[in-house]
Structure 1
């Protein structure tokens, strides 16, 4: 299920998996790493990569064409054989820029998930940057100095400044080796003018981050993408830099690339055939980064997004989940009443456990989403009490939330949007039916918890019993409980009317004596 069950939201990590795997569905290439987790250490067993060029299949309206989808699905089918039988929480799969942009990404993801048997998350550019840095940081020796990490992808380029395993600056710029190839080198020629145009356009993008990044500063610069690896290999092959990338080496390489004049001629410099078409674009982007950010030297590191996914997974296994830190940070930043939020969370989860069992829903997979929504349901109060559920939904949907995929943010925002007042069916229009129904049922649990905690006495109500079938539910309270709480009874009566319009018939009563 692509909307309600993205990998980051609902793939509970196994307690001690023998094998774990990560797949990076990049705009240019798809990569998979399968590893063994031994005493909290990752031991890579196999790495696979295929040039899919998903971004090349985006048409003028940003729809993926059938040919690019076919290439992607064929690749995933081969990957699926390697991870067959691995439990759901042991595999993490993410899509990046091409799937962020594609207007038909949701339909494609449903096809891909059905084929590979695991959820696929589309992550934001900054979340991609965070995971890239995590992979790089674990691949390098420990260093207390700031480092700048650059990763040139097919549709975007990520820039991260971090220290040890923590990031300080994260940015994803809309420039990539596939998109720039199509814009500037689509005819297969490499002229001085074409290269200059690509360089200038990349420089313009980089001006947006120059001052901020130069102000923070770094001691080492690391490149982590296939494009940078290819450039470093060509520089070493031609003795323009021994396993180092420098401004002088890049200038010599650019001069030779322009002198040769055609992409097909770049094999003379040692460029691999599978990287020929995107090599000039990647070179233009890297040279612009060196120029605008005044980089003196860069080393290549093989760690990248897929390794970052593995280390992020280990963090979840050991309850060091960056998503929990994100939720706590939001509660602090927007001055959320944590005691009340905890009471809503406890009540919602108590109700949901009963509902999920009777509605035959994957309780474990959706409970975490309900917990997060409960903790953040009042986030919109930081803007205004009037329609705060709408303000909260906007904040969550469009914020950069470390650790969360786009799908999870969308589902989280939707739950906050419908936790009170009238529920509009149009809110669920962007979801497929199989995704919308569980979210609707999750929303019912959250709404009831909010109603039951209206008095804000901060006591978890876990004594309420629930009987439910597909379109109806009955709340059963302890004897005399409702009678002593006339305001709650009135609130439940009002909620009954709202849920009826939502297609849920609700009744409530006390236990028989």
Structure 2
């Protein structure tokens, strides 16, 4: 009989002992061609609120210590028999400042069975940024990562795997809540005071950040994820409406201000009723909102992408590096993969690799997909003769829609476009921003759906792309190559006319029927595009 207590060597664990919550994540490591891929298989989270147990003399009370130890006992049981080199345990700000943290660490290590590493603010920033590379959308330039913890906030700006500047501020959701909202009451005066207090702390370091430019802002903490969930569940962002539902994961100042106003109107945290707010997050949400509003205002942030916990992936990254044989070799973490630096192509679009992985996974008809891509690229270039800032990205999303539009066939042919769109909306696409993921899912949903049934307004961003993929679907529905004459693009009375040669289309009754039906459909839709056959 096999020894069931032995843990497979490919399992690693990362533990984040934060000031608000303790989190354990277990991942399976799959090695392929020299790279290591992380697959999350179990996550356990416990809201300890360690920072809330600190006295004015920075000593943890017995109740909080006992709660922390009970959590560590459960974690220790879960990772019992894991090899020491496969586990990375990190403890953050409250462990750094608590005068009696030594007792908690000693007792905690006995229950956990693994050493607890109390990391510096510098190391915390490094792990947050390392983890952000694993769980953030693709970014070719500087990325600004913000991690609001229970008692500290990490600000990091860097590019790829290189940090340029960082700070660890004594500012968190638990400590801010304790300072301003400990009685559970919320009003305009108190909220303004909390925001101004946060601004004062942030302004002590903000000047150097404003001297840099960044292309992406990422919030990697539980505070940011909780706020994004509320914004999504209550449709509080001022985003353009897409045919697919809000995928969440995006924070704007409009959404933040709406939550703040709802909190003030509720008067108490207990009376604050809003969809998407979990019970364990409720007691500290006012503090989290005030800190994040201050950050948005000080750095003039328009929107923030919200990722999974970056620091836990940073810890997993460390755990994997600890078990690698070639210690001297340099590795880069990206998209939940750890790759030798000499085999990592920084210029490649990581989103494309994710799409190609799906193409293989779902056995996509590649010949049909590339047939449609060739047509779409040519027509899109003709329609969008004036290349705006969004041209290149929109063209890529159109190509990926062609590659993925039929993945829903694995579920059912009937309404397969809905299945395809659902998979894209809900399956992990780490390298995609939530807005690009929603745009991709929308194109796939609408490539063959009735336009009058879709939520498409005149200001829909991807009308040109949608016209291209819908026409390619009609032209190549027989899955054969045909010579399509050039489609002439003209403008008249504020409409964009797509002129198809009548003599040619009369040779293909099946295609002609589809084109005439599409022409009538566009006339009923809020679109500037029209199809003319002459």
The separation in 2 between residues aligned to 1:247 and 1:223, in whole angstroms, is: 13
1:268 aligns with 2:284: no
CA-to-partner distance for each residue in 1:201-220, whole Å, 9 max, x for gaps?
Answer: 11011112221111122111
The separation in 2 between residues aligned to 1:176 and 1:21, in whole angstroms, is: 26
Q: Give 1:298 deviation, angstroms.
A: 0.5
1:21 aligns with 2:17: no
Q: TM-score, normalised by structure 2?
A: 0.56
Q: Give 1:60 deviation, angstroms.
A: 1.6
Contact 1:54 1:72 in 2 (8 A): yes
The separation in 1 between residues aligned to 2:74 and 2:96, in whole angstroms, is: 23
Contact 2:230 2:274 in 1 (8 A): no
Secondary structure of residue in 2 paired with 1:84: coil
- Specify the alignment match of 2:76 in structure 1: 80
Contact 1:35 1:42 in 2 (8 A): yes
1:188 aligns with 2:180: no
1:297 aligns with 2:303: yes
- Specify the alignment match of 2:356 in structure 1: none
Q: Give 1:320 deviation, angstroms.
A: 5.4
The separation in 2 between residues aligned to 1:300 and 1:141, in whole angstroms, is: 9
Change (3 A) 1:258 1:141: closer
Q: Give 1:301 deviation, angstroms.
A: 0.4
| RMSD (CA atoms) | 1.7
The separation in 1 between residues aligned to 2:307 and 2:189, in whole angstroms, is: 32
Contact 2:191 2:290 in 1 (8 A): yes
Secondary structure of residue in 1 paired with 2:185: coil
Q: Indicate the structure with greater helix content.
A: 1
Contact 1:147 1:218 in 2 (8 A): yes
Contact 2:16 2:91 in 1 (8 A): yes
Q: Aligned to 2:252, which of 240, 246, 261?
A: 246
- Specify the alignment match of 2:170 in structure 1: 174
Aligned residues: 308
Secondary structure of residue in 2 paired with 1:137: helix
Q: TM-score, normalised by structure 1?
A: 0.58
Change (3 A) 1:182 1:309: same
Contact 1:145 1:163 in 2 (8 A): yes
CA-to-partner distance for each residue in 1:424-474, whole Å, 9 max, x for gaps?
Answer: xxxxxxxxxxxxxxxxxxxxxxxxxxxxxxxxxxxxxxxxxxxxxxxxxxx
Q: Aligned to 1:259, which of 262, 265, 274?
A: 265
Change (3 A) 1:176 1:312: same
Secondary structure of residue in 2 paired with 1:208: coil
Change (3 A) 1:282 1:320: farther
1:100 aligns with 2:96: yes
Q: Which runs of 5+ in 2 are unaligned?
A: 1-7, 238-245, 332-534
Secondary structure of residue in 1 paired with 2:40: strand
Change (3 A) 1:212 1:271: same
- Specify the alignment match of 1:218 in structure 2: 214
1:140 aligns with 2:132: no
Counterparts of residues 33-432 of structure 1 (less than 5 Å):
33-39=25-31, 40-241=36-237, 242=246, 243=248, 244-316=250-322, 317=324, 318-319=326-327
Q: Give 1:268 deviation, angstroms.
A: 3.4
Contact 2:222 2:309 in 1 (8 A): no
The separation in 2 between residues aligned to 1:142 and 1:181, in whole angstroms, is: 34
Contact 2:26 2:43 in 1 (8 A): yes
Moved over 4 A (4+): 320-323
